[in-house]
Amino acid sequence: MKIVVCIKQVPDTNEVKLDPKTGTLIRDGVPSIINPDDKAGLEAALRLKDEFGAHITVITMGPPQAKIALQEAYAMGADRVILLTDRVFAGADTLATSTTIASALKKLEYDLVITGRQAIDGDTAQVGPQIAEHLSLPQISYVSKFDHKGDHAIVKRTFEDGFQTIKVKYPCLITALAELNEARYMSVAGVVDANRSLEIETWSFSDIDAAPEKMGLKGSPTKVKKSFTKGVKQAGKVIEGTPKEVATALVDKLQEKFII
Amino acid sequence: MSINDYKGVLVFVEQRFNEIQNVSLELLGKGRKIADELGVGVTAVVPGSDISKHAQLLIEYGADKVMLYDNKALELYTTEPYTQVVVKAINEEKPEVVLFGATSIGRDLAPRVSARLQTGLTADCTSLDISEDRLLMMTRPAFGGNIMATIVSPEHRPQMSTVRPGVMTKMEREPGRKGEVVNAKIALEKNNQFVEVVSFEKEVGTKMDIQEATVLVSGGRGIGSADGFEILDGLAKELNGLVSASRAAVDIGWMPHDRQVGQTGKTVRPNLYIACGISGAIQHVAGMEESDLIIAINKDKDAPIFEIADLGIVGEVQKVLPIVIEEIKKINAAKVIEN
Amino acid sequence: MQFILSNEDLMMRDLFRKFTENEVEPIAAEVDENEEFPVETVKKMTKLGMLGIPYPREYGGAGGTYWQYINFVEELACACATTSVVVSAHTSLCASPIYEFGTEEQKKKYLIPLAKGEKLGAFGLTEPNAGTDAAGQQTTAVRDGDYYILNGSKIFITNAGYADVYIVMAMTDRAKGLKGISAFIVEKEFEGFSVGKKEKKMGIRGSSTCELIFEDCKVPAENLLGSEGKGFKIAMMTLDGGRIGIAAQALGIAQGAYNEAVKYVKERKQFGRSIAAFQNTQFQIADMKTKIEAARFMVYSAAYKKQLKQPYAQDAAMAKLMAAEVAMEVTTKAVQLFGGYGYTREYPVERMMRDAKITEIYEGTSEVQRMVISASELK
């Protein structure tokens, strides 16, 4: 079985802090990690490899620093890693990103493509399904359980209020939820090999067949018009009043925050 | 054709178990506002089976035209048939704006549609506006909610977005409102992208791990007794959350240890943490201070918990919570579709 | 001398930290409270190659560096001193002498499973009447055909009962004194070998510390490590390396207590402000940090020297002396900063203070370290 796992290196948004004075994001010193859903996808692939034998290629698109994420994937047990990096790819929205990654995937053999459901920096959940569309693959997103059954898989696809059990034939694409599994650690020997013997393949624009106008900023239909922070967390308000008054204030707060 | 030839707002209407999802009515409400601003109509696209009964409801909630794709093969959501339906509807209607709910269906379908149409898509929007130059301004949180970004799609049509459920408001239902109902036909094109749904099961929330909960209603010594936690449980149910407790409440035996938040308990980070009768000893605060929204109820106005709460309420838990629960029930009842 | 961490080192440290944070820290208090040997943690470490970090692949190791091994001990000790000593006794005191002094056959038979973590190791030198004064060994080994017959007992043996392989010192020729001591590789299944009573300790309470008993214990002659009479030298060289492990453990304990203290003083409010705002707190924190860094440089320096195969015995002794004293001082200060809470088991600093004490005692007391350090200065 040949599996390609698409991963993204993201800043650990749990570690991102807002500058209390300016309200801007402090990105310095924020560690970069493999996106958690993607890591669950990689773990799913590694488990298939453990159980049935598989060749796992991990691919990421990003700046040269993203090679750390690939080293980590290799140290966890991936067989081959590819970094897609080129200035032409930069500034891409989800459509352009998926076009670029799908173009690279066309150069690879696969029975199964795995992506994470969504990245914690963008939270779009769009790139996986868009890759599937470019490659004309059936897609199952929000996968919380995956069983390999020879020429097909039985997959648990979660919804807000239930789940579907789906039979899908290979080749297909799934998008993994972090709760699909608990990702393994790198092994000590894996870390050693990832640094001493691993050769990271670096693919640029010239290595994939795609139209330059479909990639990067140029190939992105959507543009960021502006971005802003929601402002500094205000010191909490403490209110007093009758039970009715304070209860109403509480409910208003829940509505304001879209909780109810 | 030019992008100016695209006119109108199209809303993908989502049904699960043949029940129209609330988010779709919210989208019709928002779509209605946008359409009025643009001077165009709202079209609702409904794939499903045995769905004609929903048409009038959708019109009364703001649709000018309802396209029913009634087909046994569309009874349950699967990606490819639904993509074919929505792509066909878009190609026929040529709308300038297409809205999907940012649900597990909308977020599966919309990107597939956008890639097939080679147009842009903005995910999980919390606000939509029309700019002076007739562009849809789609605002969404990014970076773990730390920043907001406003996205536009200047040169591609339709402008598509998935919209977070619960954010937009439904329009007031207009009984007897008139609109066009189209029994649209589609011949689904069988291809390798079809999958087989073996089963579709409804699941009742059974997650009991307080670290997994998005809402926690937490009680401390101020709750007074084990029975006192019942009211917390009532609120937690309304908010789809769980009840947790401080060490004090666990040590006394009012709650089991697996519900304990704090230094010697669990560290939690829910979207909402409601601290009831918890003073806010630092070993407790250490386990919950990262929660997105902290609301504290305590009768002692000098309780340290108020220093970290986003909203502090000075009052008695047993008096305040029943009113809160009643209010939430009213609001939720108003959300339930009247069909 | 330079300490620049490579990408490999940084990834390794990241791995060790995550492992400690997720697998070790959550059960550290329980391990202490219930005096529970961390069996499950050992299994997890085995899977990840953490019990043979510095040994080459051909001997079952992960092929990492000595610094990486030392860093692992340090990171573990930040959360759980017990777990760190399990690893350090196994790696430094059992696998290491086999790697350094063993024959090819001995390495194949013992080092490979030890480095893979399939077997756990321990080391037996101390006896009731031979602690700091190793020459007082009462355990004897008498050659009998293809076997040595061991009689006697060892005390305070870390990992005893859980270890499969023991490096044991015994007198083969009492007349020769220190030069009459020999080292043996003893398997727990050997006839005549048993594990005696378990000590109840002040700290590192989850680690197993027991007596080893040899009653006509039959050890195959090929299990003699090195040659007859080399035992004392092997023991001393092994302890030189072991000291870096204990120094790293002390460093980790100090760092762990310091981390807890920093977190606490920022949260704890007294007189209307966080206690971090008081100058006394600030000065305490400054002193703690400075001393920890000084100890860290000494520990890493010793580790690098060993890694580069330079003489390191004195560096190891200095590092252990320094780090152990820093650990004691920093944990004591941390408990003080926590006040009443620090004295309770609600917070981990009292455990860290109890754990710190042993680092001034085992694998050579601080007094022995001073003897070692000055001996090479005054010869």
Q: Name the residue of chain A whose CA is nearest to B194's CA.
A: A138
Q: Which stretch, A125-134, B218-227, B261-270, has highest mean pLDDT? A: A125-134
Output the CA–CA distances (angstroms, integers) from residue C92 to B93, B223, C54, C199, in the order listed: 75, 54, 10, 22
Output the CA–CA distances (angstroms, integers) from residue A2 to A105, A149, A208, in the order listed: 12, 14, 20
- For residue C346, give the nearest of B263, B285, B304 by CB distance: B263
Distance from CA of C184 to the nearest CA of A (A): 30
Two structure tokens written together for B182: 């189209």
Nearest to B44 by CA among B76, B22, B19, B69: B69
Position with higher pLDDT, C3 vs C47: C47
Q: What is the pLDDT of residue B51?
A: 96
Q: Does B304 lie at the interface with C, CB-CB under 8 angstroms?
A: yes
Q: What is the pLDDT of residue B301?
A: 86
When scoring B211, B282, B290 by the number of chain C Cβ atoms within 10 A, the one with the most, hence best to mutate, is: B282
Position with higher pLDDT, A20 vs C28: C28
Residue type, position B284, single letter: H
Whether residue B98 contacts residue B114, with contact meaning beta carbons closer than 8 Å, is answered with no
The DSSP-derived string for C141-204 is: EEEETTEEEEEEEEEEEETTTT-SEEEEEEES-GGGGGGGEEEEEEETTSTTEEEEEEPP-SS-
Q: Does A189 contact C8 at a Cβ distance shorter than 8 Å?
A: no
Q: What is the pLDDT of residue A12?
A: 82
In this predicted structure, the answer to whether residue C377 has a pLDDT above a threshold of 50 is yes
Q: Return the axis-axis angle of helices B317-335 and B230-238, rounded to nearest 10°.
A: 20
Q: Does C268 contact B304 at a Cβ distance shorter than 8 Å?
A: no
C338 Cβ contact partners less than 8 Å away, ≥ 6 residues apart = C260, C261, C264, C347, C349
In this predicted structure, the answer to whether residue B337 has a pLDDT above a threshold of 60 is no
B87 Cβ contact partners less than 8 Å away, ≥ 6 residues apart = B113, B116, B117
Which subunits count as partners of chain C given 3+ CB pairs below 8 Å?
A, B
pLDDT, one tens digit per residue, over C203-219 is 999 999 999 999 999 99
Q: Does B283 contact C268 at a Cβ distance shorter than 8 Å?
A: no
Q: What is the Cα–Cα distance from A91 to A223, expressed in whole angstroms?
A: 9
Cis before A171? omega within 30: yes
CA angle C278, C281, C285 (to 5 degrees): 140
What value does the mean pLDDT take over residues B313-318? 93
Q: Which residues of B touch A140 (CB under 8 A)?
A: 79, 195
Q: What is the pLDDT of residue A14?
A: 65
Residue type, position B310, single letter: D
Global model pTM greater than 0.95: no
- For residue C63, give the nearest of A68, A72, A192 by CB distance: A192
What value does the mean pLDDT take over residues B328-337? 78
| Model confidence band, residue B251 (pLDDT cutoffs 50, 70, 90) | confident
Q: Does C338 lie at the interface with B, CB-CB under 8 angstroms?
A: no
Q: Quick count: other Cβ atoms within 10 Å of Cβ A30?
A: 16
Q: Does B282 contact C268 at a Cβ distance shorter than 8 Å?
A: yes
State yes or no: ipTM above 0.95: no
Q: Does B152 contact A223 at a Cβ distance shorter than 8 Å?
A: yes
Q: Does B319 contact A243 at a Cβ distance shorter than 8 Å?
A: yes
Q: H or E segment at B138?
A: strand B136-142
Which residues from C are below 8 Å from A when comparing CB atoms? 6-8, 11-12, 15, 18-19, 47-50, 53, 57, 62-64, 68
pLDDT, one tens digit per residue, over B258-269 is 788 986 677 788
Output the CA–CA distances (angstroms, integers) from residue B301 to A174, A226, C65, C125, in the order listed: 52, 41, 57, 63
Nearest to C100 by CA among C299, C249, C235: C235
Q: Does B115 contact A98 at a Cβ distance shorter than 8 Å?
A: yes
Q: Give me the residue label for tokens 């004309």.
A: A136
Percent of chain C at pLDDT exceeding 90: 92
Nearest to A48 by CA among A167, A149, A128: A149
Q: What burial class does residue A17 get, using C-beta atoms within 10 Å of its C-beta: 0-12 exposed, 13-18 middle, 19+ buried?
A: exposed
Q: What is the Cα–Cα distance from B313 to B291, expressed in whole angstroms?
A: 17
Q: What is the Cα–Cα distance from C197 to C212, expressed in whole angstroms?
A: 8
Which subunits count as partners of chain B given 3+ CB pairs below 8 Å?
A, C
What value does the mean pLDDT take over residues A82-101? 95
Distance from CA of C268 to the nearest CA of B (A): 7
Nearest to B295 by CA among B277, B317, B274: B274
Whether residue A115 contacts residue A176, with contact meaning beta carbons closer than 8 Å, is answered with yes
Q: Does C269 lie at the interface with B, CB-CB under 8 angstroms?
A: yes
Position with higher pLDDT, A144 vs C130: A144
Q: What is the Cα–Cα distance from B210 to B288, expressed in whole angstroms?
A: 11
Q: Does B285 contact C267 at a Cβ distance shorter than 8 Å?
A: yes
Q: Does B130 lie at the interface with A, CB-CB under 8 angstroms?
A: no
Whether residue B14 contacts residue A159, with contact meaning beta carbons closer than 8 Å, is answered with no
Q: Does B282 contact C264 at a Cβ distance shorter than 8 Å?
A: yes
| Model confidence band, residue A189 (pLDDT cutoffs 50, 70, 90) | very high
pLDDT, one tens digit per residue, over C160-192 is 999 999 999 999 999 998 999 999 999 999 999
Q: Does B308 lie at the interface with C, CB-CB under 8 angstroms?
A: no
Nearest to B23 by CA among B188, B167, B149: B167
Distance from CA of A227 to the nearest CA of B (A): 4
Q: Does C346 contact B304 at a Cβ distance shorter than 8 Å?
A: no
- For residue C347, give the nearest of B263, B285, B304 by CB distance: B263
Distance from CA of C256 to the nearest CA of B (A): 15
Whether residue C333 contacts residue C259, with contact meaning beta carbons closer than 8 Å, is answered with no
Q: H or E segment at C378?
A: none
| Model confidence band, residue C89 (pLDDT cutoffs 50, 70, 90) | very high
- For residue A188, give the nearest of C6, C7, C53 by CB distance: C53
| Model confidence band, residue B41 (pLDDT cutoffs 50, 70, 90) | very high
Q: Does B38 lie at the interface with A, CB-CB under 8 angstroms?
A: no
Q: Backbone dihedral region of C138: left (phi > 0), alpha (psi from -120 to 50 degrees) or beta?
A: alpha
Residue type, position C173, single letter: D
Whether residue A156 contacts residue A163, with contact meaning beta carbons closer than 8 Å, is answered with yes
Q: Which residues of B touch C264 (CB under 8 A)?
A: 282
Q: What is the Cα–Cα distance from C1 to B11, expressed in whole angstroms?
A: 68
Output the CA–CA distances (angstroms, integers) from residue A168 to A116, A142, A157, B182, C227, in the order listed: 18, 14, 11, 33, 66
Q: What is the Cα–Cα distance from A214 to A219, expressed in whole angstroms?
A: 4
Q: Name the DSSP letter for residue C357.
A: H
Active site members of C: 363
